[in-house]
């Protein structure tokens, strides 16, 4: 197994890393050598979750450390360790069951992560030592890093072309097939909404379709919103709202990473990945408020607001997904600020048209310590999307229920009988926290993988 940076299987002098929960700290501390007890008392260390304390030997060299943790099966319970510990090689000096060991390894990697593509220097870091690293944990870590790297990369280096290149690289590694329809070919092959949103950019809009797996296996389609930059279009965003819009392809980042993880783990599934990749730019041929655009499904849509563009590219992708008659359809999108107002930055909003799917996804999130919160497909709010001249409006003139109405818009393009789940995800950390560095973030990804893994197992 090729170990990522921050991990090693061999070392001559690993330092002991203890972990305790606060209620158990007093008993643990009483069993330590007197100098360690005295030092911890002097530092007022009490085992509080998220705390770290190292100590030295008689020569002044680092001799060990203790972490305060709460839930040992939560990767984020361990994520403060690698950045807070002195540089060196560390080995867990406590009994860990399989779940806790996997959480430690994943949390260590999440805690180490920093986006360094444009940095000229990096400091030495703590490394985790083990002879029993878990390959699945590293694949999950790689998927989370994939999301973070894609979202953190500025649009100059992460446009529709680059998203396509990522899909093609994944396909080459895992033996998948890729088909891309771009530019005016979108009109010829009936993806008019994707074309409308992306036509003003100098970068051609496209739909990326990746196919992998055995025909006999259950078929899951994974869709992602790939708006590589969102100016808001002619309904131009304010500067503050536009500042981080490189992250508006966060849904595509999640979809790509999830598909890559399924392929890496060789789950007995057949998957189709659909990424609608565009840049919502301002230009002479930008789509306008008040226009009526066509969609692949044949539903006409009046443009109430050009900044509600994600649902427009997704509706063509969802229509294509339903044509494939999948057993399961999942989509990820940085769709609405309203979801953040309702749930804040950490909780993705989950919508589903199937009770069993919603239950299983929420349960998977709890098990993986990757929570989501279910929101209602409250269909009476479809009245907010009424158009006087088209079948549907893409937005409404009210600020109420913005995330719900966006999900209802998407549901209009999901065929009856297709089990569908939609995640309105922020894909971003506004500030640095242990295991959650400022910038791009994978949210609901580990839960989605756990869901697919359970479904593949039957």
User: Which residue numbers are catalytic?
Assistant: 237, 311
Kindly tell me the number of DSSP H helices and DSSP E strands found in the chain: 16, 19
Question: How far is 314 from 249, CA to CA, in rounded Å?
Answer: 12
Q: Exposed e or buried b for every residue in 339-368, given b needs 16+ CB within 10 A?
A: bbebbebebbbbbbbbeebbebbbebbeeb
Helix (H) or strand (E) holding 65: strand 62-69
Using DSSP's 3-state secondary structure scheme, residue 338 falls into helix
Contact 91, 130 (CB under 8 A): yes
CA 291, CA 129: separation in Å to the nearest integer? 60
Q: CA 458, CA 267: separation in Å to the nearest integer?
A: 11
- 262, with CB counted inside 10 A (0-12, 13-18, 19+), is buried
Instruction: Please say whether the beta carbons of 260 and 204 come within 8 A.
Output: no
Other CB atoms within 10 A of residue 54 CB: 18
DSSP string, 134-160: -HHHHHHHHHHHHHHHHHHS-GGGSSH
Assigned token pair, 400: 């109420």
Q: Which two tokens stand for residue 363?
A: 């349960």
């Amino acid at each position: 197994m090729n170990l990522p940076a921050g991990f090693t299987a061999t070392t001559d002098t690993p330092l002991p890393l203890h972990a305790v929960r606060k209620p158990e700290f007093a008993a643990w501390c009483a069993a330590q050598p007197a100098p360690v007890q005295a030092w911890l008392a002097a530092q007022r260390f009490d085992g509080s979750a998220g705390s770290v304390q190292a100590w030295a030997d008689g020569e002044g060299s680092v001799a060990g450390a203790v972490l305060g943790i709460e839930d040992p099966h939560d990767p984020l319970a361990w994520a403060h360790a690698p950045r807070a510990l002195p540089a060196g090689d560390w080995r867990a000096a406590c009994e860990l069951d399989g779940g806790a060991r996997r959480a430690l390894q994943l949390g260590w990697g999440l805690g180490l992560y920093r986006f360094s593509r444009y940095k000229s220097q990096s400091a030495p870091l703590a490394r985790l030592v083990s002879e029993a690293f878990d390959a699945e944990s590293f694949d999950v870590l790689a998927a989370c890093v994939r999301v973070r790297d894609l979202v953190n990369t500025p649009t100059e280096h992460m446009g529709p072309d680059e998203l396509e290149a990522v899909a093609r690289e994944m396909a080459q590694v895992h033996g998948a097939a890729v088909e891309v329809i771009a530019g005016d070919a979108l009109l010829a092959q009936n993806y008019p909404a994707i074309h409308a949103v992306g036509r003003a950019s100098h970068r051609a809009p496209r739909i990326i379709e990746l196919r992998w797996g055995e025909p006999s296996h259950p078929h899951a389609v994974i869709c992602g919103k790939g708006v590589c930059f969102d100016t808001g279009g002619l309904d131009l965003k304010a500067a503050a709202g536009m500042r981080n819009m490189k992250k508006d392809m966060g849904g595509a980042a999640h979809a790509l990473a999830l598909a890559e993880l399924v392929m890496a783990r060789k789950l007995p599934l057949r998957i189709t990945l659909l990424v609608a990749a565009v840049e919502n730019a301002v230009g002479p041929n930008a789509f306008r408020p008040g226009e009526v655009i066509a969609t692949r499904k044949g539903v006409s849509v009046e443009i109430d607001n050009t900044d509600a563009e994600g649902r427009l590219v997704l509706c063509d992708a969802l229509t294509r997904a339903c044509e494939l008659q999948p057993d399961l359809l999942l989509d990820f999108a940085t769709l609405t600020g309203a979801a953040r107002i309702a749930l804040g930055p950490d909780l993705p909003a989950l919508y589903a048209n199937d009770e069993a799917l919603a239950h299983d996804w929420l349960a998977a999130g709890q098990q993986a310590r990757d929570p989501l919160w279910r929101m209602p497909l409250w269909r009476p709010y479809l009245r907010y999307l009424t158009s006087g001249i088209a079948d549907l409006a893409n937005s409404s003139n009210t600020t109420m229920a913005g995330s719900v109405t966006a999900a209802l818009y998407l549901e209009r393009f999901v065929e009856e009988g297709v089990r569908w789940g939609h995640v309105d995800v922020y894909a971003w950390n506004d500030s640095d926290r242990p295991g959650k560095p400022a910038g791009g973030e994978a949210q609901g990804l580990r839960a989605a993988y756990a869901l697919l893994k359970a479904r593949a197992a039957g």
